[in-house]
Amino acid sequence: MTSLVLADHDNASLKASTLSAVTAAQQMGGDIHILVAGQGCGAVAQAAAKIPGVAKVLVADAAQYANALAEPLAALIVSLAGPYSHLVAPASSVGKNVMPRVAALLDVAQISDISAVVSADTFVRPIYAGNALATVQSKDAKKVVTVRGSTFDKAKTDGGSAAVENVNPAADPGLSTFVSQALSKSERPELTSARIVVSGGRGMGSGENFKIIEALADKLGAGVGASRAAVDAGFVPNDYQVGQTGKIVAPDLYIAVGISGAIQHLAGMKDSKVIVAINKDPEAPIFQVADYGLVGDLFQIVPELTKSL
Amino acid sequence: MKILVAIKRVVDFNVKVRVKADKTGIELANVKMSMNPFDEIAVEEAVRLKDAGKATEIVIVSIGPQAAQETIRTALAMGGDRGILVQTDAEVQPLAVAKALKAVVDKESPNLVVLGKQAIDDDSNQVGQMLAALLGWPQGTFASKVALEGDGIAVTREVDGGLETINLKLPAVVTTDLRLNEPRYASLPNIMKAKKKTIDTLAPDALGIDVAPRLTTLKVEEPAKRQGGVKVADVAALVDKLKNEAKVIG
């Protein structure tokens, strides 16, 4: 039994979500290999080789993998799938895009966004925006799984010394081309791995007003998130969204500012260790999940909080 | 150009679901059902492409019980031309849905399939990708913008770090994200007109596909309930709690 874990990376560094996927794969049992597919991704392969418990790193370095397009990447994974019992990826935008394609090409089910491993063939996954947890068993010969990063510890990043092996690219289906990307630039910690997250909602009123959220986040060394309402209103970019269909976070401290607490938002943050809610409406549902609630005007409270830290 | 839109009937997004006492699933009796919100966005996008003169026909497809006809009817009222229901009362998992849709695509030969990126009941986020795989077509998932250009389609995707734009050769599969559009409400005249539109019903057997589940659900449970905490009086009290009680800040 061996698992192949798809590394999530930007050709320069390994993303933390990969480390959670490795931990999940360890719980499934057997050996672990990591696939690094990209272009000029040698540093990523070296980083992957240092993860303790990883036996081998496969590197597919070719132009068609530079931007993780689903069609060539799925073809590559399928070409390598033969000896593996488990194909595992983080439930990141890359994993969610490519793994169902891999599963269908192999004619097996895919198990999305698992939050726990029960055994090699049985997994727990949240359904209905995390309002229920389903335990599912796969009867397929290969398990194709994506892993919710927030519920698995991150594997260590040093101490390992896996062999690094180049693999041949698979034939490129040539169905898609990469055009451009517009990535948010930020010096702040990444939302899904930040120890503290400060999020703003509709109550912020404008994108300009997010400055007070950012000031608080910078004081705390926190990542900045948002509710769907704030993203839909155009206050902040889509990659800030925390929730059922956005990012799932579970930091030590989550501060929800001007967020009412719709089910869809709670789905993305209710596993946080400590939740603080700041809202002018004492009846807002967010207070039902918050450890500490503060009712009042966020435009006074947030700057005051920033100043007092 | 013909567009096929796949939709799913799901528990309405406003319903607070409850787990059945015997842990076999979710209580669905007397619960309000609606079109999956992401699929509404898919229908809307197809209607906009037709309004813009870029599409000629919109076929709405759903897989599910007879009641899914109502959901198809809603999509027809939004601007779909005709409907197809692959009718079954059995549990149909994503791979089986993709196989059913592939069989319908083989019959209908659309140039574009649009569907929601995920259904808000099982939150799988798989069918579009699987359908593209089975058809050997490219996929543009999590779309926040689409533009038909010649024999291709440019899809702007919501990815972890921001936005990414890719070009796909047609035919292609596109799955919708929240920011693609804001779906319309069907007008009363259009609801009346939709009643006269055709909905064909097919059996999975007639499509020659095997829809047997690959995953067995062993149990469905409620997650641990989070206890609401306390309200604090002011910022000073909050800082004190965070430092000395929760110990999450230094």
Listed as ranges, residues in chain B with pLDDT below 70 are: none
Residue B244 burial (CB count, 10 A): 8
- B217 and A136 within 8 Å at the Cβ level: the answer is yes
CA separation for the pair B91, B136 (Å, rounded): 26
pLDDT of A245 over the 90 cut? no
Concatenating the DSSP letter of every residue in chain A gives -EEEEEPPB-SSSB-HHHHHHHHHHHHH-SEEEEEEEESS-HHHHHHHHTSTT--EEEEEE-GGGTT--HHHHHHHHHHH-TT-SEEEEESSHHHHHHHHHHHHHHT--EEEEESEEEETTEEEEEETTTTEEEEEEE-SSSEEEEE-GGGSPPPPSSS---EEEE-PPPPP---EEEEEEEEPP-SSPPGGG-SEEEEE-GGG-SSTTHHHHHHHHHHHT-EEEE-HHHHHTTSS-GGGBBSTTSB----SEEEEES----HHHHHHHTT-SEEEEEES-TT-GGGGT-SEEEES-HHHHHHHHHHH-
Q: Which of A122, A144, A181 to mutate to test the interface with B (most CBs of B within 10 A)?
A: A181
Q: State pLDDT tens for residues A193-204.
A: 899 999 999 999
The mean per-residue pLDDT over the stretch A269-298 comes to 96
Q: State pLDDT tens for residues A76-112.
A: 999 999 999 999 999 999 999 999 999 999 999 999 9
- A196 and B248 within 8 Å at the Cβ level: the answer is yes
Hey, what amino acid is at B205? D
Say if B158 is an interface residue toward chain A (CB within 8 Å). yes
CA A210 to chain centre: 23
- Kindly list the residues from chain A whose CB atom is less than 8 angstroms away from the CB atom of residue B222: 131-133
The mean per-residue pLDDT over the stretch A17-37 comes to 97
Q: For position B181, what pLDDT does the model report?
A: 97
- Return the bridge partners of B149, or none: B152
Q: Which two structure tokens, joined as six digits, stand for A146?
A: 């994506």
Q: For position A74, what pLDDT does the model report?
A: 98
Say if B129 is an interface residue toward chain A (CB within 8 Å). yes
Concatenating the DSSP letter of every residue in chain B gives -EEEEEE-EEE-TT----B-TTSSSB--TT--EEE-HHHHHHHHHHHHHHHTTS-SEEEEEEEE-TTHHHHHHHHHHHT--EEEEEE--S---HHHHHHHHHHHHHHH--SEEEEES--TTT----HHHHHHHHHT--EEEEEEEEEEETTEEEEEEEETTEEEEEEEESSEEEEE-GGG--PPPPPHHHHHHHTTS-EEEE-GGGGT-----SEEEEEEEPPPPPPP-EE-SSHHHHHHIIIIIS----
pLDDT of A28 over the 90 cut? yes
List, as ranges, residues 42-101 from A with C-beta within 8 Å of B: 67, 69-71, 74, 92-94, 96-101
pLDDT band at A73 (very low <50, low <70, confident <90, very high): very high
- A295 and B231 within 8 Å at the Cβ level: the answer is yes
Q: Which of A77, A123, A176 to mutate to test the interface with B (most CBs of B within 10 A)?
A: A176
Query: What is the ipTM metric for this complex?
Result: 0.96
pLDDT of A207 over the 90 cut? yes
pLDDT of A14 over the 90 cut? yes
Arithmetic mean of pLDDT over chain A: 96
Q: For position B225, what pLDDT does the model report?
A: 84
Say if A1 is an interface residue toward chain B (CB within 8 Å). no
pLDDT of A255 over the 90 cut? yes
Q: In chain A, which residue's Cα lies nearest the Cα of B235?
A: A305
The answer to whether B96 and B156 have CB atoms below 8 angstroms apart is no
User: Alpha-carbon torsion A13, A245, B4, A101, what sign?
Assistant: positive
CA separation for the pair B191, B210 (Å, rounded): 35
Omega before B213 within 30 of 0, i.e. cis:
no
Q: Which two structure tokens, joined as six digits, stand for A196?
A: 């503290």
- B118 and A245 within 8 Å at the Cβ level: the answer is yes
Q: What are phi and psi of B131, to 5 degrees?
A: -60, -45
Among candidates B190, B181, B189, which has minimal Cα distance to B48?
A: B181
Say if B31 is an interface residue toward chain A (CB within 8 Å). no
Say if A149 is an interface residue toward chain B (CB within 8 Å). no
